[in-house]
Amino acid sequence: MTLPLYQVIRDDIDRRIRSGELRPGDRIPFEHDLMRQYGCARMTVNKAIGALVADGLIERRKKVGSFVRMPQLVTPIVDIPDIEVEVTARGEAYLFKLLSRTVEEGGSVLALTGIHYAADRPLAYEERRINLMAIPEAESADFETRSPGHWLLVTVPWTHVETQIGAEPAPASLSRRVGWDKDTACLVVTRQTWRGEAWVTRVRQAFDGKIYRVTASLDEAR
């Protein structure tokens, strides 16, 4: 089945975003350049760009152009923290130690576990799954030197997030693995992000509740 030309243009740009060729904040080609490249009318290009905007992958800026959308929330209350940035902003040394890395579900999911450290002290234990069908480049990403959360935030545009926050004592198995005291009070964050209809990542992070807290703010609606 032959795809309509607007869908071909839309898929080509989507592929360039997925591969990292076009990164968050990059300008996509101007409409007249796309018209010339694909030999089509402005209406066709507009339809392709409109589909990318509807999927949350790009944003139009009046008189400037269209850009790959920066990662952002649909809610103003809870942000997605970059643990590496938060720790280094406090002037502390940050380290992510990757404990396990496997490809599961017939090659469609990358499963990772690791520990975040702040000033050589275990800050959080993380279990993460990344959808390789949506983000295939994650399979070859180097998570020995950078955390998967940081890599995702600076690499992958997303459109929707759901976050749950709770508190529970660390089970003995986790305390032993991370090096915490028995029944350490943990702040537990579970989160899932999507890009359009496809989920990007699912993560569960257990933080040492004595040295980590979550703050939230709500701006006045505009």
User: What's the fold here for domain 83-208?
Assistant: Chorismate lyase (3.40.1410)
User: pLDDT-based confidence at 24, cuts 50/70/90?
Assistant: confident
Tokens 């992070």 label which residue?
Answer: 205
Put the strands of the sheet holding 198-208 in their side by side order. Answer: 94-104, 109-118, 121-131, 198-208, 185-195, 160-169
Question: What pLDDT shows up at residue 71?
Answer: 54
Q: What is the pLDDT of residues 53-70, one digit of tens each?
A: 888 788 888 888 899 886
Q: What contacts 112, CB < 8 A, 6 or more positions away?
A: 98, 100, 101, 126, 127, 128, 129, 130, 143, 148
Q: How many CB atoms lie within 10 A of CB 35?
A: 18
Q: Which residue has better confidence, 72 or 47?
A: 47
User: pLDDT-based confidence at 197, cuts 50/70/90?
Assistant: confident
Q: Pick one of 3.50.50.60, 1.10.10.60, 1.10.10.10, 3.65.10.10 as the CATH number of 5-68.
A: 1.10.10.10
Asked if the model's pLDDT at residue 219 lies above 50, the reply is no
Two tokens, residue 164: 């749950």
Indicate the pTM of the whole model: 0.63
Q: What is the mean pLDDT of residues 5-33?
A: 88
CB 38 within 8 A of CB 156: no
What's the Rg (C-alpha) of the chain?
Answer: 20
> In sequence order, what are the beta bridge partners of 164?
190
Domain boundaries, given as residue ranges, for the chain: 5-68, 83-208
Q: Which residue has better confidence, 214 or 2?
A: 2
Question: What pLDDT shows up at residue 1?
Answer: 63
How confident is the prediction for the chain on average, in pLDDT?
A: 86
CB 147 within 8 A of CB 95: no
